[in-house]
Amino acid sequence: MNRTILTALCIAILLAIAIPLFGNAYLTAHVTRLLIYMIFALSLDLLVGYCGLVSLGHAAFFGVAAYCTALLSTKLGMTDILASLPLSVIAAAIAALIIGLLTLRTIGIYFIMATLAFAQMLFFLVNDNDFFGGSDGILATSRFYLARTVDMSAPFGRYYLTVTATAGTFITLYFMVRSPFGRILQGIRSNERRMRALGYAVERYKLACFFIGGMLAGLAGHLYLLLTSLADPSIMDWTHSAEVLMMVILGGRGTLFGPIVGAFILIELIDQAAELTEHWKLIVGVAVVVITLLGKGGLMGLVSSLKYRSKWAGARP
Amino acid sequence: MQASTVLIQILNGVQYGMLLFLIASGLTLTFGVMGIINLAHGAFFMVGAYLVFQLAHLLGWPLPLAYAASVLAVVCLGALIEKSVLAPLVGRDHLDQVLVTYGLILIFDELAVIFWGKDIQPAAIPGFLQGSVALGSTIVYPLYRLALAVVGLCCAIALYAIVAGTRLGMIIRAGAYDRDMVSALGINVGPIFALVFGLGAALAAFAGILAAPILSVSPGMGDKIIIIAFVVVVIGGIGSIKGAFIGALLVGLFDSFGKILFPSFSSLVIYALMAFIIVWRPNGLFGRPA
């Protein structure tokens, strides 16, 4: 890692560790939610930004893990996250593997719609069946623990778990996108046919990417359940997938800071607009239209084009 | 299953399918000819229904006049959106198109809430279509729903005749196949884009007007149906009117029979159908390979 990123990361982690020490429970819960969406957006960016797989069904994996955690706790009394965290992430990964195997046969707009269709199937499965709590969802009433001792339903416990998970996700992805595997994904994004001609098993790499993305979305879904205790169908809905896609695009796809910035900005925009007026959707809608029409690479793209401009400004005759 | 149940479900399926076709045909042509994914197409459906509610219920206009005025207003709205927001999106990434038109959905839904509130609004059935008809000796079927199926079928036939049988239709089909080549052959594609988009908006608004008495007129009514219309488009193959027609019928029938055969999985059935078709034929039933 280069020094600037390392310093930035250290400062971010220190800052993150310090936040609960202010003792403001609302702030801690709010930052926990921000971090969860950062993981979620990062997981989608791996698909969209690095491999060119535009999925409009990514919330399915988030939802599968949240539902799995809630079901394990209510039906089986499994409240230790040492067991339910890996199990729910594996459930999301299996869902990603199956959906990936089927949808990756398609490309372009068909892929967007195919991922949407499978996500909608899962949405209606949980929405229409009493086993999954129907449209009310499942409320996990019991508290969650780490190794039966540390209370993960307390603001402190789940906050530090989320910070660790976010840092872990970022660092993993940082090295992954610079590894040969990550380079191949980016190769597929820029020219799939050439990668195939070079002898790479493109389908396998795409599936691996989809699998890892689904797994990380599952991690976010698990943490989300620890935060809210409620798994309801709205987290599986296509609008939830569209929301996280917006985070990736607003921030700038194909960068790791983009989704983080995007998640922060979209959540804050929605929260602030909702505080301002009950018609917040109007504000968010206009913002999304304007930002997408004006900027081509999201906010990170805007930043780098400004940098580029200032770098070459003096060179003009 | 009794024969009468089967007949009623077939009628329901065809009626729902024709409604979907009216929306999906505009969607598939817009995508085929302009290369734009327009998630906001459902907004035309919603605005059409709301305008009839406003004109006929609140202002007391006669229904036929309200119908015509609503369709016309939606076409103007469509032209405005096409010129201001969608034209810059031609040739850009699908991703940007999805986002911008999703933003439009948020805007239109919220505008509907601001103008008409969150409540579900009523819609009238024209006087001569009220009541039921007897089909055979045992079944009665609402006349309006029957009329809907017939009107939908007529629209489908008319549209097919235009697209398959006229010079204009030929240009539209060629445009859906290869836009640049049509342009290179000396045909001005700008007006064709506008025409196709306007026609699509008009059909969606018309569908909204027809559906208003059956579905509820409420903000967000377009979001639910647009996803299903997309399912139709993808099943049929993008850019193909014939595909949209077959896809709409399939989805309508699967939906109506799913409701009685698998009650707790009824909404899931059409997505399963789409998943099956897309895995079997990755470009839809009548789409050409990308």
Q: What is the DSSP string of B202-265?
A: HHHHHHHHHHTTTS-B-TTHHHHHHHHHHHHHHHH-TT-HHHHHHHHHHHHHHHHHHHHHSGGG
User: According to the model, what pLDDT value does residue B148 have?
Assistant: 86
Chain A nearest CA to B121, separation (Å): 20
A127:B279 CB<8 A = no
**Cα–Cα distance measured from residue B265 to residue A71, given in angstroms and rounded to the nearest whole number:** 20
**Looking at the predicted structure, is the pLDDT value of residue A317 above 50?**
no
Mutate to test the interface with A, among B108, B273, B278, B286 (most CBs of A within 10 A): B278
**Looking at the predicted structure, is the pLDDT value of residue A96 above 80?**
yes
Cβ distance A138 to B281 under 8 Å?
A: no
**Looking at the predicted structure, is the pLDDT value of residue A301 above 90?**
no
**Please, which residues bridge with residue B217 across strands?**
B121
pLDDT digits (tens, 9 = 90+) for A181-209: 999 999 998 888 898 899 898 999 999 99
| pLDDT band for position A224 (cuts 50, 70, 90) | very high
User: According to the model, what pLDDT value does residue A296 have?
Assistant: 65
User: According to the model, what pLDDT value does residue B248 have?
Assistant: 93
**Looking at the predicted structure, is the pLDDT value of residue A65 above 70?**
yes
B282 → closest Cβ in A110, A246, A249: A110
Higher per-residue confidence, A92 vs B230? A92
- Provide the mean pLDDT of chain A: 85
The answer to whether residue A44 neighbours chain B at the CB level (below 8 Å) is no
**Looking at the predicted structure, is the pLDDT value of residue B130 above 80?**
no
B31:A109 CB<8 A = yes
The answer to whether residue A110 neighbours chain B at the CB level (below 8 Å) is yes
CB contact set of A81 (below 8 Å; sequence gap of 6+):
A144, A145, A146, A152, A161, A222, A226
User: According to the model, what pLDDT value does residue A88 have?
Assistant: 93
* A230 backbone dihedrals φ, ψ, rounded to 5°: -125, 125
How is residue B11 written in tokens? 């009628």
**Looking at the predicted structure, is the pLDDT value of residue B74 above 60?**
yes
Mutate to test the interface with B, among A53, A103, A124 (most CBs of B within 10 A): A124
User: According to the model, what pLDDT value does residue B247 have?
Assistant: 93
Q: How many CB pairs under 8 A join A and B?
A: 128
B95:A106 CB<8 A = no
User: According to the model, what pLDDT value does residue A316 have?
Assistant: 45
Q: Which residue of A has its CA nearest to B228?
A: A117
A288 → closest Cβ in B103, B268, B284: B103
For A103, other C-beta atoms within 10 Å of its C-beta total 28
A281 → closest Cβ in B98, B100, B106: B106
Chain A nearest CA to B176, separation (Å): 15
B37 → closest Cβ in A109, A242, A246: A109
In degrees to the nearest 10, what's the CA dihedral of A193, A197, A198, A204? 70
Q: Give mean pLDDT, residues B60-74.
A: 86
pLDDT digits (tens, 9 = 90+) for B249-290: 999 999 988 888 887 777 788 888 888 888 888 888 887 765
**Cα–Cα distance measured from residue A213 to residue B192, given in angstroms and rounded to the nearest whole number:** 41
Neighbour-count burial of B7, counting CB atoms closer than 10 A to its CB (0-12 exposed, 13-18 middle, 19+ buried): middle
**Cα–Cα distance measured from residue A54 to residue A59, given in angstroms and rounded to the nearest whole number:** 13
B114 → closest Cβ in A48, A113, A279: A279
**Element (DSSP H or E) covering residue A290:** helix A280-294
Residues of chain A contacting residue B31, judged by C-beta atoms under 8 Å apart: 109
pLDDT digits (tens, 9 = 90+) for B93-102: 778 888 888 8
| pLDDT band for position A165 (cuts 50, 70, 90) | very high
Cβ distance B26 to B163 under 8 Å?
A: no
> Which residue's entry shows tokens 């991922």?
A115
**Cα–Cα distance measured from residue B112 to residue B42, given in angstroms and rounded to the nearest whole number:** 13
Q: Give mean pLDDT, residues B148-173.
A: 87
A120:B271 CB<8 A = yes
User: According to the model, what pLDDT value does residue B290 have?
Assistant: 55
For A6, other C-beta atoms within 10 Å of its C-beta total 10
User: Picking from A127-131, A304-308, B32-36, which range would have the lowest pLDDT averaged per residue?
Assistant: A304-308
**Looking at the predicted structure, is the pLDDT value of residue A312 above 60?**
no
CA B202 to chain centre: 10
The answer to whether the predicted template modeling score (pTM) of the entire model surpasses 0.90 is: no
pLDDT digits (tens, 9 = 90+) for B8-30: 888 889 889 999 999 998 888 88
Cβ distance B210 to B125 under 8 Å?
A: no
Query: At what angle are helices B189-211 and B167-177 packed, to 10 degrees?
Result: 100
Q: What percent of chain B has pLDDT over 70?
A: 98
Mutate to test the interface with B, among A193, A241, A283, A288 (most CBs of B within 10 A): A288
Which residue type occupies A225? L
User: Picking from A192-201, B174-183, B191-200, B245-254, which range would have the lowest pLDDT averaged per residue?
Assistant: B174-183
B106 → closest Cβ in A107, A125, A284: A284
A245:B109 CB<8 A = no
**Looking at the predicted structure, is the pLDDT value of residue B116 above 90?**
no
A117:B274 CB<8 A = yes
Closest listed residue to residue A115, CA positions, set A12, A210, A30: A210
* A125 backbone dihedrals φ, ψ, rounded to 5°: -60, -45
DSSP string, B49-91: HHHHIIIIIIS---HHHHHHHHHHHHHHHHHHHIIIIIGGGTT
A129 → closest Cβ in B223, B264, B283: B264
- According to DSSP, residue A131 is labeled G
**Looking at the predicted structure, is the pLDDT value of residue A303 above 90?**
no
CB contact set of B230 (below 8 Å; sequence gap of 6+):
A113, A116, B24, B27
Closest listed residue to residue B182, CA positions, set B171, B198, B166, B167: B171
**Looking at the predicted structure, is the pLDDT value of residue A297 above 80?**
no
Q: What percent of chain A has pLDDT over 70?
A: 92
| pLDDT band for position A138 (cuts 50, 70, 90) | confident
User: According to the model, what pLDDT value does residue A308 have?
Assistant: 64
User: According to the model, what pLDDT value does residue A294 have?
Assistant: 79
Closest listed residue to residue B54, CA positions, set B121, B131, B144, B125: B121
Q: Give mean pLDDT, residues A287-304.
A: 75
pLDDT digits (tens, 9 = 90+) for A16-55: 777 777 767 788 888 889 999 999 999 999 999 898 888 9
A108:B278 CB<8 A = no
Residues of chain A contacting residue B278, judged by C-beta atoms under 8 Å apart: 103, 105-106, 110, 113-114, 117
For B182, other C-beta atoms within 10 Å of its C-beta total 21
**Element (DSSP H or E) covering residue A230:** strand A230-231
Top mean pLDDT of A216-225, B131-140, B192-201, B203-212 is at A216-225
**Looking at the predicted structure, is the pLDDT value of residue A311 above 60?**
no
Chain B nearest CA to A150, separation (Å): 40
Higher per-residue confidence, A154 vs A174? A174
Q: Chain B: which residues have CB within 8 Å of chain A?
A: 31, 37, 85, 88-89, 94-96, 98-100, 102-107, 109-111, 113-114, 223, 227, 230-231, 233-234, 238, 264-268, 271-272, 274-275, 278-279, 282-284, 287, 290
| pLDDT band for position B59 (cuts 50, 70, 90) | confident
How is residue A173 written in tokens? 């992805």
Higher per-residue confidence, A269 vs B94? A269
| pLDDT band for position A310 (cuts 50, 70, 90) | low
Can you say whether the dihedral through the CA atoms of B190, B196, B201, B202 is positive or negative?
Answer: positive
Chain A nearest CA to B70, separation (Å): 23
Top mean pLDDT of A21-30, A171-180, B134-143, B193-202 is at A171-180
B104 → closest Cβ in A106, A117, A289: A289
